[in-house]
């Protein structure tokens, strides 16, 4: 009964600002009760009423956008202890699209990336479980497990007729978010690969810049954000700020005043105006799009590669009284130009489609990086 009351209150709060009249709302609530009664009375199998209510609650949240979801008490507790080391993962950032789990990006040097999972893959089966109809949180739970155990993933990939199967062994995901080196035949281009925007990325990034800047021959930088699924907003702001002297970096807009904010660059460009080429692809999402979009809008960098993913929203984890929780979108990101990232992404200045699956510095296989090098030498 408590769950039914919760759902009714949730529906009422969602619809109360719409054109729905109270009579229309009460009719919908009555209809919902009627559907439940018919399921209980006539459905072919006995069903767990509590599980049905969980699914209904999750359905309300997922009808809002692909990133809002309900977590049962068990799942919410598991999410909170995710960093305890007891469980391992695959290293995939995922989202929902039309009821199907879609890979936003595999993280570099993780089991998923090494197995060959690619951005844009649709996960249709986890082990023996069909994914269709499951929530994002349920899919995450199925993929987690003890370190060293394996899981079979069946995926559908664009332009590949048959489903692909991958056997992946779980491990603790520890991401060193920044790699850097000097590239090109003349050894005059700084290359920084940023894999994610985690708690210490800005410090790692700044150390890499200062180390590279000691080489007086450096005439520009390639910042590689391909397959970077994003991370913390504060990190995106800090790292973008390294290259801007002033101006807006990003703004967030939500229903609450507290969620509507603008963030600006502070004076000081760590590389003193040297040219930048930013590499992005379909696996560049969220914080990556803030970085690339801000530098593009300020004409501080050339963006090269493929259109980014288009995840331009902020989620908050809200604990619930039953011990569970909900992930709810509370605001959206907007670039300095005023454009939204959501579902649109960042469009590159120079479209160069990715060839092959590996990012290999100075390799003929990495056509995007080689194109970027040519820009500096042209």
- Asked if 341 and 293 touch (Cβ cutoff 8 Å), the reply is yes
Catalytic annotation, pick one of 311, 313, 331, 366? 311
- Asked if 224 and 192 touch (Cβ cutoff 8 Å), the reply is yes
Distance CA 55, CA 271 (A): 51
Distance CA 101, CA 375 (A): 37
The CA dihedral of 179, 180, 185, 186, to the nearest 10 degrees, is 180
- Asked if 358 and 109 touch (Cβ cutoff 8 Å), the reply is no
Alpha helices in 16-72, H assignment, sequence order = 22-42, 49-62
- Asked if 264 and 304 touch (Cβ cutoff 8 Å), the reply is no
β-pair type (276-280, 220-224): parallel
Beta partners for 154?
125, 165
Helices (H) and strands (E) in the chain, counts: 10, 19
Give the number of other CB atoms < 10 A from CB of residue 244.
Answer: 21
* 286 given a catalytic annotation: yes
Catalytic annotation, pick one of 108, 121, 297, 366? 297
Distance CA 70, CA 327 (A): 6
- Asked if 56 and 70 touch (Cβ cutoff 8 Å), the reply is no
Catalytic annotation, pick one of 177, 196, 286, 288? 286
How far is Cα of residue 150 from the mean position of the Cα atoms in its chain? 24
The alpha carbon dihedral of 89, 91, 96, 100 has a sign of negative
For 291, residues 6+ apart whose C-beta sits below 8 A from its C-beta are 223, 225, 236, 239, 240, 278
Task: Tell me the CA distances in angstroms from 54 to 30, 48, 51, 123, one per residue in order.
Answer: 18, 10, 5, 23
Residues recognised as catalytic: 286, 297, 311
């Amino acid at each position: 009964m408590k769950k039914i009351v919760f759902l009714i209150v949730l529906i009422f709060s969602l619809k109360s600002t719409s054109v729905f009249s109270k009579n229309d709302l009460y009719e919908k609530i009555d209809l919902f009760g009627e559907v439940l009664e018919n399921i209980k009375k006539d459905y072919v199998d006995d069903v767990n009423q509590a599980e049905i209510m969980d699914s209904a609650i999750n359905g309300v949240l997922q009808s809002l956008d692909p990133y809002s979801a309900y977590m049962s008490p068990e799942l919410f507790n598991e999410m909170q202890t995710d960093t305890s080391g007891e469980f391992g993962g695959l290293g995939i950032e995922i989202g929902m699209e039309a009821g199907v789990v879609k890979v936003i990006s595999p993280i570099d040097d993780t089991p998923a990336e090494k197995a060959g999972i690619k951005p844009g893959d649709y996960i249709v089966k986890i082990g023996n479980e069909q994914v269709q109809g499951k929530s994002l949180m349920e899919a995450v739970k199925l993929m987690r497990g003890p370190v060293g155990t394996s899981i079979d993933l069946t995926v559908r990939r664009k332009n590949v007729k048959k489903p692909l199967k991958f056997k992946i062994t779980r491990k603790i995901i520890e991401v060193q978010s920044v790699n850097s080196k000097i590239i090109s035949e003349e050894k005059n281009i700084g290359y920084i690969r940023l894999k994610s925007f985690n708690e210490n990325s800005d410090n790692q990034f700044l150390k890499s810049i200062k180390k590279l800047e000691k080489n007086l021959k450096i005439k520009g930088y390639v910042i590689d954000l391909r397959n970077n699924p994003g991370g913390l907003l504060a990190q995106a702001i800090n790292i973008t700020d390294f290259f801007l002297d002033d101006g807006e970096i990003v703004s967030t807009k939500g229903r609450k005043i507290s969620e509507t904010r603008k963030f600006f660059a502070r004076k000081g460009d760590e590389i003193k105006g040297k040219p930048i080429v930013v590499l992005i692809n379909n696996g560049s999402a969220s914080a990556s799009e803030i970085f690339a979009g801000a530098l593009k809008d300020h004409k501080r960098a050339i963006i090269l590669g493929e259109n980014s993913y288009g995840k331009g929203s902020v989620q908050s984890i809200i604990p619930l009284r039953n011990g569970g929780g909900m992930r709810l979108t509370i605001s959206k990101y907007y670039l300095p130009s005023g454009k939204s990232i959501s579902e649109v992404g960042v469009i590159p200045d120079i479209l160069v489609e990715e060839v092959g699956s590996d990012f290999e510095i100075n390799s003929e296989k990495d056509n995007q990086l080689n194109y970027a090098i040519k820009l500096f030498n042209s």
